[in-house]
Amino acid sequence: MTTLLKVDHVSKIFGGLKAVEDVSMHVETGELVALIGPNGAGKTTLFNALTGVSPATEGTVAFRVGDEMVSLDKKKPYQVAKMGIARTFQNIRLFHQLSVRENLQAAMTHRYKEGFVSSILRLPAFAKQEALANKWTDEILAKLDLTDVADVITANLPYGTQRRIEIARAVATDPQLIFLDEPAAGMNPEETADLAHLIKRLQTEFGLTVVLIEHDMSLVMSLAERIYVLEHGKLIAEGTPSEIQHNDAVINAYLGGGVHA
């Protein structure tokens, strides 16, 4: 396996608060990795640092482009997205007044060129690009079972569907790596089961590398190949699901001292 993402000694400091402290981790191509930890452990802050939203105070992040590792440290969010990292949000942040199809197409703008003049005059070059974008969109819609709602304004759709659209929009950027920030939050068990199946498909069918932040432990344990545990901004454990389940530091972090599950 090759390393897709390498995080080296990353810290994020807000004033006097060390939200993330000296975190090093790596993600291999094709892996499904989970990042867990109690509320406020710094998981989303770490995602924000990795995607350029709120750059790390210290440390470096590198991402594989072809054969070399490229630093993400000075990259803006749109550049990170273009390089092949997509993400979803803890609280859904779709383009609410746009239809499902338009949400996906907004995520594809960097994937094709479209001349201003040719699009105004609707020249053949424009028609060709438009057909291509429509084809990509239709494929994703079909795979994520969203074809029926393609032209509905996303604000009018149920919560579970909006979650799926967010994943579809992330897929539309044509990423190699996808960060999912608590995708199961607010879902009932049935929806969570569907989601687990979808996340697995992202890895197998779409060929994506997945990093998952999640509180639903049954979901994490059944999906993740490797787990990182963050507490108070520091990594306290790393390992396979069974290793993590028996790790004393993790049990302490979640349940307080002296309890064994």
State which of residues 9, 76, 197, 246 lies at the interface with other proteins (CB under 8 A). Answer: 76
Question: Packing angle between helix 124-143 and helix 159-172, nearest 10 degrees?
Answer: 130
Q: Interface with other proteins by CB under 8 A: which range of 21-29, 113-121, 205-213, 235-243?
A: 113-121
Residues 181-240 that bind other proteins (CB under 8 A): none
CA dihedral 61, 64, 67, 68 (to 10 degrees): -20
CA atoms within 13 A on the CB side of 229: 22
Q: Interface with other proteins by CB under 8 A: which range of 13-21, 112-120, 198-206, 236-244?
A: 112-120
Q: Does 125 bind other proteins (CB under 8 A)?
A: no
Strands 234-239 and 226-231 turn out to be antiparallel
**Smallest distance, other proteins to C-beta of residue 124, A:** 15
State which of residues 18, 89, 143, 245 lies at the interface with other proteins (CB under 8 A). Answer: 89
State which of residues 28, 95, 125, 245 lies at the interface with other proteins (CB under 8 A). Answer: 95
State which of residues 44, 105, 161, 209 lies at the interface with other proteins (CB under 8 A). Answer: 105
Q: Which of 212, 231, 234, 233 is nearest to 221 (CA)?
A: 212
**Smallest distance, other proteins to C-beta of residue 35, A:** 18
**Smallest distance, other proteins to C-beta of residue 103, A:** 8
The alpha helices in 75-158, defined as continuous H runs, are: 77-83, 100-106, 116-120, 124-143
User: Cβ-count burial of 186 within 10 angstroms (0-12 exposed, 13-18 middle, 19+ buried)?
Assistant: middle
Instruction: Give the strand order in the sheet containing 234-239.
Output: 85-87, 177-181, 209-213, 32-36, 226-231, 234-239
Question: Under the rule (CB under 8 A), what is the footprint of other proteins?
Answer: 51, 53, 76-78, 80-82, 86-87, 89, 93-98, 102-103, 105-112, 114, 116, 119-120, 129, 133, 169-170, 172-173
